[in-house]
Structure 1
Amino acid sequence: MANHKSAEKRNRQSQVRRLRNKSNRSRMKTAIRKIDEAVVAGSADEAREALKQAIPVIAKTASKGTIHKKTASRKISRLTKRVNQMTA
């Protein structure tokens, strides 16, 4: 437990950031799950639409610092590759 005023503030800040990061990560995972479900179902149009909606969500998660920029890029690339292979 924090004993100093500055440590208590740091603890509060960490909790706020943890919740914000959790929310961002959850939003991103939901967007990715929608793509996966569309790919498994074999629906090319739904997969393309879900990808179009997921790319900005993943990029925003990275810009907020929740995930690393290169991790976001890798996720976008792999999802795009899956959707493109499915439609081809």
Structure 2
Amino acid sequence: MPNIKSAKKRVRVSEKRRLRNKAYKTFFKNRIKEVLKAIENKEPKEVVLELTRKAQAAIDKAVSKRVIHKNQGARRKARLFEKVNEYLRTLETTQE
């Protein structure tokens, strides 16, 4: 435990920020999982696209709050969109 006043404050601030960052990370990770689960359960196209939009917004918010680096956000979105697009292509081929 620190003895200096400013160091004590840094501990308090760091803990507060850690918890806030953890909440943002949990939020966007859960949004991504919802999309993947919808794909796994073969949900309709509209549902998957809506969940994807929400996941994208959550990732963008985490990037804007500097919880994750912008490149990590871009990578996560790219990987998610890759899976969504693959799923949508399979839906189109089964409808034909």
- TM range, normalised to the smaller chain? over 0.9
1:45 paired residue number: 46
What is the aligned length?
Answer: 88
Q: Residue 20 in 1 paired to residue 49 in 2?
A: no
Query: Percent of pairs identical after alignment?
Result: 36
TM-score for both structures, normalised by structure 2: 0.87
Structure ID, larger Rg: 2
In the alignment, the residues of structure 1 paired with residue 11 and residue 28 of structure 2 have an alpha-carbon distance, to the nearest angstrom, of: 26
The structural deviation recorded for 1:48 is 1.3
TM-score for both structures, normalised by structure 1: 0.95
- The unaligned stretches of length 5 or more in structure 2 are 90-96
Detail structure 1 runs of 4+ shifted over 4 Å in the superposition: none
The structural deviation recorded for 1:18 is 0.5
- The unaligned stretches of length 5 or more in structure 1 are none
Kindly report the root-mean-square deviation, in angstroms, between the aligned alpha carbons of the 2 structures: 0.9
Q: Secondary structure at the match of 1:42?
A: coil
